[in-house]
């Protein structure tokens, strides 16, 4: 270690960040200015569009819609009627079909193969150009790691309840991102299922 420090010209002891580097990396004042500008923009938006602004703020707080208890009870009641054997992807699809209308913040997708029966749910809408409708489904392709890493980022940002799915055997490809999505304290409204 001492030789590496000498070769790199790093004369500082372990765990010390030199003051000049700390100062160069310090963007607190820039961040505060950007946040103030964002809050001002949001305030103008809330005046012009109060309903969407309230919905945005509800989602960012992580609050569930007011009718959430009723939707949950309906989902459970419907699922208990299912008695025939069912593939997990079909069970997932059935739950998403019921929960989706009650939770507009649900966003996600599945690892896609070429099999038609793996469609996510009846309300799945992928982003399109030009934008004709609100999107709530992401085409991940066969990219388990990318899918899981994207879900981590969306969950950290907030405002969405993310889901993703793949076959259990392929979850190994997502292992590193799954581990990053499992902090010491569980994240709100996030989930990865296989």
Contacts of 84 (CB under 8 A, 6+ apart): none
Taking alpha carbons only, the member of 133, 127, 193 closest to residue 163 is 193
Q: How far is 84 from 35, CA to CA, in rounded Å?
A: 53
Taking alpha carbons only, the member of 189, 126, 127 closest to residue 160 is 189
Q: Give the active site residue among 20, 35, 77, 144.
A: 144
- Per the annotation, the verdict on 144 as an active-site residue is yes
Cis status, amide bond into 130, omega within 30 of 0 = yes
Residues noted as catalytic? 144
């Amino acid at each position: 270690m001492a030789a590496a420090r000498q070769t790199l010209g790093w004369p500082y002891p372990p765990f010390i960040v030199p003051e000049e580097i700390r100062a160069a990396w310090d963007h607190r004042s820039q961040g505060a200015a950007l946040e103030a500008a964002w809050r001002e923009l949001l305030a103008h938006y809330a005046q012009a569009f109060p309903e969407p602004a309230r919905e945005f703020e509800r989602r960012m707080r992580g609050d569930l819609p007011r009718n959430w208890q009723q939707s949950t009870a309906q989902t459970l009641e419907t699922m208990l009627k299912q008695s025939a054997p069912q593939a997990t992807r079909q069970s997932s699809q059935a739950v998403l079909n019921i929960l989706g209308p009650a939770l507009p913040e649900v966003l996600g997708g599945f690892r896609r193969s070429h099999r038609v029966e793996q469609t996510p749910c009846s309300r799945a809408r992928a982003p399109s150009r030009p934008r004709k409708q609100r999107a709530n489904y992401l085409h991940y392709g066969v990219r388990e790691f990318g899918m899981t890493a994207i879900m981590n980022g969306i969950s950290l940002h907030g405002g969405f309840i993310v889901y993703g799915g793949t076959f259990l055997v392929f979850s190994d490809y997502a292992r590193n991102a799954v581990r990053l999505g499992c902090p010491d304290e569980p994240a709100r409204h996030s989930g990865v299922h296989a």
